[in-house]
Amino acid sequence: MSKAELSDVEDLVHSCGFYHAKAKDIIGAAQGILDRFNGEVPDNIEDLTSLPGVGRKTANLIVGDIFKKPAVVADTHLIRITNLIGLVETKDPKKVELELKKILPPDESNDFCHRMVLHGRAVCIARRPQCDNCCIRDYCKSSKN
């Protein structure tokens, strides 16, 4: 991938949107991994976010899902639901990540985030949360309002 032609990578990611920028980042990240990390994908947030196109959300996803280390993926569902529950009081992704890292048991943090995403799709749906059917209703600050 580090030696790929930009147009070839663009063809691969065309359906994702922003394909030109993404293709450039993919090639740049592959070159960075090869040049600076001996061809090994880094297993920590600092090194991962030094690569083109890799933000904290992607870095945490890689650290948690690939390397099975503690991670908090601050996606839109996690940010919305943890604010509703009352675990955090900020919409800033980095602050949500760092606040949750302080309170979640490290071994549970990655699964917790995936569960919040599923919960946000199935039950705590934006603009029409199904509070009557919610298994964490008793712990949710918003359900009391």
Provide the minimum distance between the beta carbon of 12 and ligand SF4 in the complex, in angstroms, as a whole number: 37
Which residue, 4 or 131, has its beta carbon nearer to ligand SF4? 131
Name the segment binding ligand SF4 (CB under 6 A); options: 20-28, 61-69, 71-79, 131-139.
131-139
Name the segment binding ligand SF4 (CB under 6 A); options: 26-34, 47-55, 100-108, 122-130.
122-130
Choosing from 8, 75, 95, 144, which is the catalytic residue? 75
Residue 43 catalytic?
no
Three-state SS across the chain?
A: CCCCCHHHHHHHHHHHCCHHHHHHHHHHHHHHHHHHCCCCCCCCHHHHCCCCCCCHHHHHHHHHHHCCCCCCCCCHHHHHHHHHHCCCCCCCHHHHHHHHHHHCCHHHHHHHHHHHHHHHHHCCCCCCCCHHHCCCHHHCCHHHC
Residue 68 catalytic?
no
Catalytic residue ranges: 57, 75
